[in-house]
Amino acid sequence: MEIIGYLASLLIGISLGLIGGGGSILTVPVLVYLFGINPVLATAYSLFIVGASSLVGAFPKYQQGLVNLRTAIIFGIPSIISVYATRKYIVPLIPSEILELGGLVVTKSILMMVLFAILMVAASISMIRGNCENCGKENAEETEPKEQSFNYPIIILEGLVVGLLTGLVGAGGGFLIIPALVVLSKLPMKQAVGTSLLIIAMKSLIGFTGDLGHQVIDWPLLLTITGLAIAGIFVGDKFSKNVDSDKLKRGFGWFVLVMGVYILIQQLAFPLK
């Protein structure tokens, strides 16, 4: 299963390189089901893997002028604070056994996986429909942002919510960040995608530091998986010019939807302990 897990780690990066996002949503299932890692620890590992992969992905976007640093800082600060606080203080406070429903004991691990499955379903719908389908179409091909004005209360609230979700389930949340960047900061779609990678990298890596001291990290395993995911990004990017990214993203979205529903059913019927 570990060999399959390493291959799946490479595929996570390939999907990121091919479709520009969404592949990281598979990180936690790969860690839990193929490497046998506890779901709570898997969400911590996922933060590091997603953060490192997004940072690598953001670098060429920055070179192309598709990363708006001012927007990344303004949107990133509340998310960083929220994800760090969630990993450092909230996750350790969640009891091992939360409640009992009809003979099913809802544990911390089950809660994490159910939340993650729900997020997978939400992310898959975003990919199937098209990311930010109803926003920013008029400036999708532009590379320069319109005149920016920031609604700070809404931005702070959005950042806190995304940071909380990222901290709880270990996913980047790009499908929530990109529409917010287009609508709330008037960024063109291409800049929103590049800027979101930097935001995801910052909040995920800093959020991961909140787990240090709470979790025992298997660094050789974590760095190996991360390295494979990063290598996969370059492989996927090389082939991305020869595929229809929109069709591929929708197909991947259906796959994520099936996986999310499977995990939800599996956790409620045959939960991992």
Give the mean pLDDT of 25-36: 89
Note the pLDDT of residue 49.
Answer: 92
> How confident is the prediction for the chain on average, in pLDDT?
83
Tell me the domain boundaries of the chain. 2-269
Partners of 104 in the β-ladder:
101
Q: How confident is the model at residue 249 (pLDDT cuts 50, 70, 90)?
A: confident
Taking residues 162-173, what's their average pLDDT? 83
- Given a cut of 50, is residue 140 above it in pLDDT? no
Name the burial class of residue 24, with classes exposed (0-12), middle (13-18) and buried (19+) by CB atoms within 10 angstroms of its CB: buried
Closest by Cα among 204, 38, 36, 28 to 9: 28
64 versus 171: the higher-pLDDT residue is 64
Dist CA 255 CA 174 (whole Å): 18
Whole-number Å distance between alpha carbons of 47 and 170: 5
Q: Give dist(CA 30, CA 130) in Å, integer.
A: 25
**pTM summary value:** 0.83
The pair of structure tokens assigned to 55 is 């940072």
% of the chain at pLDDT higher than 90: 20
